[in-house]
Chain A
């Protein structure tokens, strides 16, 4: 059943992505001030939204683990956070490429960029911490605490473009009262978000299964050692 869902999702996401590519690269015109490079927004924004939502979801799942002590929540939290970190990396990389063309530098130390890099480091630390703790319950507890504290920083990063005058553009999506984008240009962002979200879901499903196997192997090893 899981296989079928994964294949179905992959087919849907692949088709949607192909259709989005067609819209983004052939149907839409160049942006007036930025030229062709503005198209990177169709990956930059969805990837970062998924990164942020993933860190947030990881936090909720971590709280779920802490209240229920059910290791499946922990496995799901770890998987979601790991996938979110991948999307945050894509977001950072695409942003950096855009900055090179528009600002002339790969990186600027404004609040948005810095706080998002800090988040990336924190959740990188989260994954390293998971490898450093042997005992599953202890690992889940420690990871959950880091996830909750790290999400505070993710929220600071989310709000930073409203709280401070950043070099990073202010909100552009109409969802955040940004505005400034023509509806025809804004819509593909959401379609690409959907496509990438499907890919993220696939990755999480694969990763969760790995966690389940790892837990099973760990249990078997403990049984062997106990003999």
Chain B
């Protein structure tokens, strides 16, 4: 029942996104722009790029993610859709899970496109064996960004200073997960063995998913 409700919400969000493509287009264009801007900050052809490629990638994901996440609840404000959703028989936790799943899918799609762009632009050696572990790291890292981002998207949706408050709150909160994801990605792309980051990232995901599911009712309903 819970899963079906969550799925209904996720499907609704994905449908409306597929029709308009507004968050997806903006986020994708933005991530390519960021990757381009990074190339001016340092010598993009140097060998050192490999050592911080994970950082570049996750910075791009975090910035591009903010565009997707900001829209998540903001798009429900028009026509009082948010009030209708809250008043509907769907519990807040299911509403949150659905929104988070939809955001995850959108962000993941953006990431899958910008990953080859990074590999191409910065001449990062890529082999097929990296694909599996990379998908795992991306899944765990993106879920961390999505859970925190979706909760704060709900929290800031009715604020006067929404566009300012969301990044101020979300980025510091994400930093532990971002650090772990960046380190893991750099280790993967450099072909080094993976450290304890995977365990940390998984624990972070579990803790924050639980906290978000517990608190979303407080945030949306009171």
Known contacts A115-B176, A129-B169; A145/B219 CB under 8 A: yes
Quote the shortest CB–CB distance from B125 to chain A (angstroms). Answer: 27
C-beta contact mask, A129-150 vs B, less than 8 Å → 1, else 0? 1001110011001101110111
A145/B173 in contact, CB under 8 A: no
- Complex Cα distance, B161 from A134, in Å, reads 11
Chain A residues contacting B155 (CB-CB under 8 Å) are 142, 145-146
A152/B160 in contact, CB under 8 A: no
Chain A residues contacting B208 (CB-CB under 8 Å) are 149, 152
B89 at the interface (CB under 8 A from A): no
Quote the shortest CB–CB distance from A168 to chain B (angstroms). Answer: 16
B222/A137 in contact, CB under 8 A: yes
A125/B168 in contact, CB under 8 A: yes
- By size class, the interface of chain A is 20 to 34
Chain A residues contacting B164 (CB-CB under 8 Å) are 132
Write the chain B residue with the least CB distance to A134.
B160
**Which residue among B164, B169, B176 has the maximum number of chain A CB atoms within 10 Å of its CB?**
B169
Chain A residues contacting B158 (CB-CB under 8 Å) are 138
B219/A142 in contact, CB under 8 A: yes
Known contacts A152-B207, A152-B211; A129/B165 CB under 8 A: yes
B159 at the interface (CB under 8 A from A): yes
Quote the shortest CB–CB distance from A190 to chain B (angstroms). Answer: 31
C-beta contact mask, A13-36 vs B, less than 8 Å → 1, else 0? 000000000000000000000000
B175 at the interface (CB under 8 A from A): yes
B207/A122 in contact, CB under 8 A: no
Known contacts A128-B168, A132-B160, A149-B211; A122/B173 CB under 8 A: yes
B215 at the interface (CB under 8 A from A): yes
- Complex Cα distance, B218 from A138, in Å, reads 9
Chain B residues contacting A66 (CB-CB under 8 Å) are 218
Chain A residues contacting B215 (CB-CB under 8 Å) are 145, 148-149
B193 at the interface (CB under 8 A from A): no
A132/B161 in contact, CB under 8 A: yes
Chain A residues contacting B151 (CB-CB under 8 Å) are 145, 149
Chain B residues contacting A133 (CB-CB under 8 Å) are 159
B172 at the interface (CB under 8 A from A): yes
A153 at the interface (CB under 8 A from B): yes
B191-215 interface (Cβ within 8 A of A): 207-208, 211, 215
A153/B176 in contact, CB under 8 A: yes
Chain B residues contacting A115 (CB-CB under 8 Å) are 176
Contact of A141 among B159, B169, B172, B218 (CB under 8 A): B218
What 9 pairs between A and B have smallest CB-CB spacing? Answer: A121-B172, A122-B172, A125-B169, A132-B161, A145-B215, A118-B175, A125-B168, A132-B159, A118-B172
B contact set with A: CB distance below 8 Å: 148, 151, 155, 158-161, 164-165, 168-169, 172-173, 175-176, 179, 207-208, 211, 215, 218-219, 222
